Chain A
Amino acid sequence: MSRLGRVRAETAAGWRAFVRRRTAVFFTFFFPVILIVIFGALIRTDPGGGGLFAEHPAYYVPGYLAVVVLFTPLSRLGSEVARHREGSRFEKLATTPQTRAEWLLAQTVVNAVIIGLASLLILALVVVLTGAEIVFSPLLVPYVLVGVVCFCGVGAMLGSYTDSQDGAVAASNAIGLPLLFLSETFVSLEQLPGWFEPLVNLSPLTYFARGVRAATDPNAATSAIAGVDPALANLGILAVLAVVFFALGARSIPTTD
């Protein structure tokens, strides 16, 4: 009860604090929408042609989802941790029964709700604006949740190891942008130099993209991993990475000066 109670109290406070930042709420939803409008509706995909956006519309569903699953936790957690440090809030929390993992779990729950709603909006827009033909697999739910857990951990580390909110936001952009475009989201492996493939495999977002694609795109050519269905295998890998990054993120949160 006590652990649950602390997470509940932190989640309620975190939720209120977030939804009252109207600008942050607006751009959390507006950013992926504008990307879909620009790339999916204005530029449009060109199946079979060369260059970027050469795949069929459903191929890019993981990429559009990644905009919120990756960016929102990185920037929100990064700046939230930095804000907490600047206000001596962790110094205060360190003298309460709440643990760092409980704090991060509560922030993750807030992010999961926001990102879950944004993901629904993205899926609807992708289907309506780009004509993507996708399967609404139930696996989308654990993918989004596990992805949020993973990147909340990374965001917590960014906030802990940078020295200000500005630094945390800059770091999240510097890390998020390359990951977003080089994790088999918008650019396929074939379009990248061969030597780059190992780096793609290092990105947690790659397993999110491959798995979501395997689960939602009926035309996807995602290969099985050790004989396991790619939709499940990639989820398993992402889950392991999520546990690792969540633990590292919680551990990075300062309890002393």
Chain B
Amino acid sequence: MDTAVVAEGLEKRYDGTTALAGVTLSVERGEVFALIGPNGAGKTTLVRALTGTTEPDSGSARVLEAAPSAVDRDRLGVLPQSFSPPDRLTARELVAYYAGLYDDHRDPEAVLADVGLANADDTWYENLSGGQQRRVCVGTALVNDPDVLFLDEPTTGIDPAGRRTVWRLIEDLADSGTTVFLTTHDMAEAERLADRVGLLADGELVARGTPAGLVADHAGSSRLTIETPADQTAFEDLPFPTATRGSEVVVREVSPADIGRVVDYLEQRGIDYSGLSWAEPDLEDVYLELADETELERTDGTALARAGETA
């Protein structure tokens, strides 16, 4: 496959804060690449560096074999994270407006249908619901039928049904050969849509791979979560590793066939519990495993700094 997006050693700092610390990645043509990571990890900065709307301090990027600022704009579709179009236009007028900026553009009505707004009335953008607004914004990124599409948190604020509409749309685009680079906080979205996922934390790409590969490498085993007021010591005789998480005890390496053994254990010991849930490891576990480490380092650092201040 040809490469659609390449970043090599991208670095960017803002007022002493490192947004990107040498990010290197590539996205093949027709691939859906999802970038996940905590708030402030540098996701939006990376999207901006790849779309030519910020200049990296060092490193280089190429999109469709050109520098981001020199890419043929007719082949690029971008949805910025905090994008808010003119608010006193209707959804139909907004899509038509952005379509009018391109020589070759799709029928605005078809775009509205794609984002689930075929029946949009004359309501101004400012009076649409948050989810409808975001769908209009997604539509404005599709009007030119781009070869490469950057979507920075496309489904934020969209209800579950609308989110699935956007997901199906992205899947259709990928099927037709569009390269999609998206950022998201929704792990289910990344797991469902992405061919590959990259995890960005503190400006560094700490993991990348297929969703299944990342889960296998980083998410650990299946888990049985027990909502219980009991202490972890009550589970010492259970033949599975356990850990306490708030008011829950998480039992690891439990197969579906072993659930009955755990329930019997609870009954025999008279341990109170109000809920029991079993789950296969997923991308969220990868996120919590890798991104939480940096989050913990950051919050521990803050706590230590505060302790130092008060000492």
Chain A interface residues (CB < 8 Å from chain B): 1-2, 5-6, 8-10, 12-14, 16-17, 20-21, 86-89, 91-98, 255-257
Contact = CB atoms under 8 A, between A and B. Distances in A.
A89 B53 contact: no
A156 B79 CA distance: 24
Sort A-B residue pairs by CB-CB distance and give the 7 closest, nearest first: A9-B100, A87-B84, A95-B78, A20-B88, A13-B97, A88-B80, A97-B73
A196 B144 CA distance: 55
A31 B257 CA distance: 79
Interface of B: 48, 51-55, 73-74, 76-89, 93-94, 96-103, 124, 140, 144, 150
Contacts of A5: 100, 103
Given A17-B86, A257-B54, A9 B73 contact: no
A86 to B, nearest CB: 7
Nearest to B47: A91
Contact of A95 (B73, B89, B99): B73
Contacts of B77: 95
Given A89-B84, A257-B48, A12 B97 contact: yes
A96 B85 contact: no
A96 B73 contact: yes
A107 to B, nearest CB: 12
Given A16-B88, A88-B80, A97-B101, 16 more contacts: A8-B100, A9-B97, A10-B97, A10-B100, A10-B101, A13-B93, A14-B86, A16-B89, A87-B85, A89-B83, A95-B73, A96-B102, A96-B144, A97-B102, A256-B53, A257-B54
Contacts of A256: 48, 52-55
Contacts of B82: 87-88
A87 B84 CA distance: 4
Contacts, number: 90
A92 B80 contact: yes
A86 B53 contact: no
Nearest to A89: B85
Given A20-B124, A89-B83, A89-B85, A9 B101 contact: yes
Contacts of B73: 95-97
Contacts of B79: 92
A6 B94 CA distance: 14
Contacts of B52: 94-95, 256
Q: Name the residue among A1, A96, A256 with the largest chain B CB count within 10 angstroms.
A: A96
Nearest to A103: B101
A16 B85 contact: no
A92 to B, nearest CB: 6
A20 B94 CA distance: 14
A8 B93 CA distance: 13
Contact of A2 (B54, B78, B84, B103): B103
Contacts of A91: 48, 53, 78, 80, 83
B13 to A, nearest CB: 13
B97 A95 contact: no
Contacts of A10: 97, 100-101
A194 B51 CA distance: 54
B83 A92 contact: yes
A95 B151 CA distance: 13
Contacts of A86: 84
A97 B146 CA distance: 13
A88 B83 contact: yes
B103 A16 contact: no
Nearest to A80: B86
B53 A257 contact: yes
Contact of A92 (B74, B78, B89, B99): B78
Contacts of B48: 91, 256-257
Nearest to A98: B101
B203 to A, nearest CB: 16
Contacts of B78: 91-92, 95
Contacts of A14: 86
A17 B88 contact: yes
Contact of A88 (B84, B86, B94, B150): B84
Contacts of B99: 9
A114 to B, nearest CB: 15
